[in-house]
Amino acid sequence: MKKHLAILLAVMMVAAMLGACGDTAAAPAAPSQDAAPAASAEPAPEGDAAPATDGEILIGLSCALTGNFPLAGQRTREGVDLALEEINAGGGVLGKKLVYTIEDDQNTQTTAVNVVTKILTQDVAAVIGPHTSGNAMATNELYKNAQVAFLTGGTSPKLEEAGNPYMFRCRPADTINGQVAAKFAIEKLGATKIGISFNNNDFGTGGRDVIIAYLEEAGVPYVAVGHNAGDKDLTGQIMQLKSENVDCIISWTDDAEVALTARQLYELGVEVPVIASAGVVMDQVLNLLEPEYVEGWYSVTDFVSTSNDQITADFTKKFTDKYGYAPELYAATYYSATYVLADAIERAGSDDPQAVRDALAATEGLTLPEGSYKCDDKGNLLHGCVIAQILDKVPTMVEYVDLNS
């Protein structure tokens, strides 16, 4: 089933590209530890991955359990574990137990390549992860050459442009999210000159380009100012936006930098509405901030646990009962991704990777906490997105946008 030579060649190609490329999402880290054994719903100890038995179907999971923001990986794993627990309690998939083999990609491109290579040496039906746009791009050719589908939460338009039929994006692309943010700024917040604060990586520049295109079409002036992953001071960029007298700021950056942006906007006295990408409503960001730093901020996201939707409320209760705290976006995204994958395997009638890939492409009408899922012809697993507002560090839904209506 696996094309080991193709995988090896792809690894060599990706390694060469990474060595020549300097715009990675984070500094390269050492290769990960050995994979955890195949697991169903309980956390697994570290060690060599065990193959699935005849009564099991194996999937892969690549997430950041260590690195710059390990809480993201923890929430990802918790969402997957809860979904597997429910699926297997209901009889599993094709009468078999659905299990995973997990690897820690540390949220770096080099490590993501290493761990995905390792996962693909096993008889996996498909893989969940890696999450970020940069890591998804770094591993894209590995999956394409192995002909194994993967589901990623990366949202950069560059992922769609990669043209990989084995890549499925389980969150709305920034071609959607960026437009939603810009439209909300103009139509609901009355913005007449918009500042764009963006990260100079695949995610940030992809969102920036979408937002700029929308603003130019609408005839709204803007000022775009970039920064880099790992920057520790954004005073210069923020003061530039302030001096340009923007009346709204759209922040499209990674978790560490959005936390820095929020703190410094407050400290430098910038008092205009802010719309941010989804990271600002994550626990790992909110836990770093004083309430006043993000009070009243808006975010374009997929999920808020405070929604009154019954399916969302049921998921939130089950998650909270199991873990002792409410879910956030990563947990919901990968809980749903696990159900989408299980549904595809069931419809495929097989755990053959090509059959599973084809079934994923035909996904439609599967209702989960983020809405009803439908795969378009570009591998986008469309559902809905949410405009949320942060009040006392709690994201609250303002508006739901159904992307399949």
Average pLDDT over residues 357-374: 96
- Residue 28 confidence (pLDDT): 30
* Residue keyed to tokens 């030579």: 5
pLDDT at 108 over 60: yes
In this prediction, residue 52 carries a pLDDT of: 63
Q: What is the pLDDT of residue 51?
A: 56
pLDDT tens readout for residues 316-326: 999 999 999 99
Average pLDDT, the chain: 88
Where in 115-161 does DSSP place strands (E)? 127-128, 150-152
Percent of the chain residues topping a pLDDT of 70: 87
What pLDDT sits at residue 158?
A: 87
Amino acid identity of residue 23, one-letter, is D
Q: What is the per-residue pLDDT across 11-64, written as a single tens digit (0 to 9) for each?
A: 434 333 333 333 333 323 332 333 333 444 443 333 344 556 679 999 999 999
Give Cα separations from 41 to 145, 322, 325, 338, 356 (angstroms): 30, 11, 18, 12, 22
Q: Can you give the pLDDT at residue 106?
A: 95
Report how far residue 55's alpha carbon sits from residue 38's, in angstroms, rounded to the nearest whole number: 13
What's the confidence (pLDDT) of residue 374? Answer: 96
Residue with tokens 């999402």: 25
| Per-residue pLDDT tens over the stretch 251-281 | 999 889 999 999 999 999 999 999 999 989 9
Contacts by 288-291 with C-beta closer than 8 Å and gap 24+? 288/259, 289/259, 289/262, 289/263, 289/393, 290/263, 290/266, 291/392, 291/393
Q: pLDDT tier at 5 (50, 70, 90 boundaries)? A: very low
Residue 402, pLDDT score: 85
Report pLDDT digits (tens) over 82-98. 999 999 999 999 999 99
Q: Which domains does the chain have, with CATH numbers?
A: 4-171+312-383 (3.40.50.2300), 174-301 (3.40.50.2300)
